[in-house]
Structure 1
Amino acid sequence: MKLLIGNRNYSSWSMRPWLVLAHFEIPFEDEVLLLSGDGWRETLAARSPTGKVPVLIDGALVVPETIAIIEYLADLYPDKPIWPADLQQRALARAASAEMHSAFLGLRGHAPMNLRANHAGKVSADAVGQDLHRVETLWGQLLARSGGPFLFGAFTAADAMFAPLATRIRTYGLPVSDTSTAYVEAIYGLPAFQEWLALALKEPWIVDDDEIDVIQGRVARGTLA
C-alpha cells in the first residue's frame, strides 16, 4: 500500500490520511510529489486521477480524496478504532470530519498550513474570527463530552481531519481558549504527528502560494530561501 502525498510542510490534506495510517500502525509507504517546481502539475496529473494529493494505491486500486481514503482504511481494518466504536459517537465524528472537509474556508485561505513557520500576528483575527468561533464551539462540545485529550477520547480519524487546522493556530498565534490550546498540544504530542513534523522540518522546498509573506505582498515570489 502506498500513499502519494505533497510537501509535508504545506500539504494539509496529505497529512490527514498519513496520520491515520501511521497512528494505527497500518503498513504503508509514502511518496512525495512536489507542489512546486518545473512540471509539478503535469507530474500530479500523471499520478493522480484528480491531479491532487493525497492518493492511496492498494494494488490495482487507486483512491483519491482524503475522506474516501480514510473510509477505505476503516473498512479494510475494522479491528482498528479509526472511528469511534459507538454508533452515535461515530456519527458525530463523521459529521465533524465532513464539516472540516467543506468549511473553515477563512482559516484555510488566510492562514495556510506552514509547519516550519512562526507567523504570529500576521493573520488578522477578524479575518478568521468566525471560523475560530465555530471550531472552538465544536471542539469544546466534543471535548466536554469525551473528557479528551482528543475529540472522542482516544485519537480517531476526526482528530486527523482537524490536525492541520490545529497547526494553523500555533503557526499564526491565533487567539483561542485554554481548551483549544490543550487540544492543539495533544495533536502536537501525538507520536505520529511528531514523525510527520520532523520530516516536514527537513524539507528544503518552498511553495510561494502557501507562504503568508508572499500572499500578503511582503516578499516577492521566488525570493524565500
Structure 2
Amino acid sequence: MGRATLTISSKNYSSWSLRGWLLCKMAGIAFDEKIVDVDDPENRQELLLLSPSVRVPRLSHRDVEVWDTLAIAEYLNEIAPDAGLLPKDSKARSHCRSISGEIHSGFYNLRSALPMNIKARHEAFKIFSGARPDVARVKQIWTECLAAHGGPFLFGEPSMADAMYAPVCTRFRTYAVPLEPGLQAYCDTIFDWAPMVEWCAAAREEPDEVIELEVEF
C-alpha cells in the first residue's frame, strides 16, 4: 500500500488533526507524522476552529494529496475497504456519512464554546446558551445510533463516525458536560479505544505553552 505522511498540528488542541489521525489508524495504513508549526497564522485558524480544514490534517500517499477530513475518510475507505470505516449495510452507511458530514460542517457554537483541550479538566463549566442546542443535538445523534446498533461504538464497531465525534467526547469530559449513563458509557468506550489512548498520552506530553486559545463568542 505504500507509506503515507499525515500532516497534523497540536495533539492537545487540534480536533481536526485527531480525526484524520484516527481515520489513518483505523485504515491500518503505515504513516509518518509531520507536525506543523502551531505559531503559523493559518494553523492558528485551524486550532481556533474557524475552519474544519485549513492546512491540517493533510494526507500524502503515493501521488495523492488529501487535505479535508471527510475526503481523507473517503480516500481511506477506497484504499482499505475492509477496514470498516463505513458500515457494510447501505442504510447504516448512509446514516454514518450523514452524521459525519453534520459534525464536519456544523456545530460551530459547540466548537467555539468548548474548544478541545485534552489536558484541561473543569469540575463545572457554564455553557453559553448558543451552544446548548448543539450539545443536545450531539446527544440525540449518539442516543439514536447506540439504540439502533447496540453499541459500544455508534455503529456497533468503530467507524468513520466515531473518529469524527471522538473530539466531542474530549470536550464533554474537559468541560464536565453531564451525560446520561448510556452516553457516558460511549465516551468511556472512546477513551478506552487503543488509538485514543495513544493520542491522549501524546497530548499530555505536549508543552503547556504550545498555544493559548482565545475564542470570541
Instruction: Report the TM-score, using the length of structure 2 for normalisation.
Output: 0.88
Could you tell me which residue of structure 1 aligns to residue 64 of structure 2? 61
1:188 lines up with 2:191 in the alignment: yes
**Which one-letter code corresponds to 2:125 in the other structure?**
K
Could you tell me which residue of structure 2 aligns to residue 74 of structure 1? 77
Following superposition of structure 1 onto structure 2, how do residues 111-130 of structure 1 map, counting pairs within 5 Å? 111-124=114-127, 126-130=129-133
Secondary structure (helix, strand or coil) at the match of 1:79 reads helix
Asked if the contact 2:8/2:33 (under 8 Å) is kept, the reply is: yes
State the 4+ residue runs in structure 1 displaced beyond 3 angstroms: 41-44
CA distance in 2, matches of 1:120, 1:127: 21
Following superposition of structure 1 onto structure 2, how do residues 139-218 of structure 1 map, counting pairs within 5 Å? 139-204=142-207, 205-209=209-213, 215=215
Cα distance per residue 1:109-131 (max 9 Å; x no partner) = 00100001112323426342211
**Which one-letter code corresponds to 1:194 in the other structure?**
V
Instruction: Report the TM-score, using the length of structure 1 for normalisation.
Output: 0.85
**Which one-letter code corresponds to 2:211 in the other structure?**
V
Cα distance per residue 1:10-66 (max 9 Å; x no partner) = 010011121122234221111111322xxx23789xxxxx75210001133211110
- Bigger drift between 27-36 and 191-200 goes to 27-36
Could you tell me which residue of structure 2 aligns to residue 221 of structure 1? none
Aligned residue pairs, count: 204
Give the gaps of 5 or more residues in structure 1.
45-49, 217-225
Q: How far apart are residue 140 of structure 1 and its match?
A: 0.3
**Higher Cα Rg: structure 1 or 2?**
1
Could you tell me which residue of structure 2 aligns to residue 41 of structure 1? 41
- Bigger drift between 59-68 and 106-115 goes to 59-68
CA distance in 2, matches of 1:17, 1:215: 23
Asked if the contact 1:132/1:176 (under 8 Å) is kept, the reply is: no
Give the gaps of 5 or more residues in structure 2.
45-52
1:22 lines up with 2:25 in the alignment: yes
Q: In the superposition, relative to structure 1, how do residues 128 and 43 fare at CA in structure 2: closer, same or farther (>3 Å)? A: closer
CA distance in 1, matches of 2:54, 2:141: 32
Q: How far apart are residue 215 of structure 1 and its match?
A: 4.8
Asked if the contact 1:187/1:193 (under 8 Å) is kept, the reply is: yes
Asked if the contact 1:100/1:161 (under 8 Å) is kept, the reply is: yes
Question: Which of 103, 107, 120 is residue 110 of structure 2 equivalent to?
Answer: 107
CA distance in 2, matches of 1:81, 1:127: 35
Structure 1 vs Structure 2 CA RMSD:
1.9
Q: In the superposition, relative to structure 1, how do residues 149 and 215 fare at CA in structure 2: closer, same or farther (>3 Å)? A: same
Question: Which of 79, 97, 100 is residue 97 of structure 1 equivalent to?
Answer: 100
Secondary structure (helix, strand or coil) at the match of 1:207 reads coil
Asked if the contact 1:112/1:168 (under 8 Å) is kept, the reply is: yes
Could you tell me which residue of structure 1 aligns to residue 47 of structure 2? none
**Which one-letter code corresponds to 1:136 in the other structure?**
K
Q: Percent identical across equivalent pairs?
A: 37
1:5 lines up with 2:16 in the alignment: no
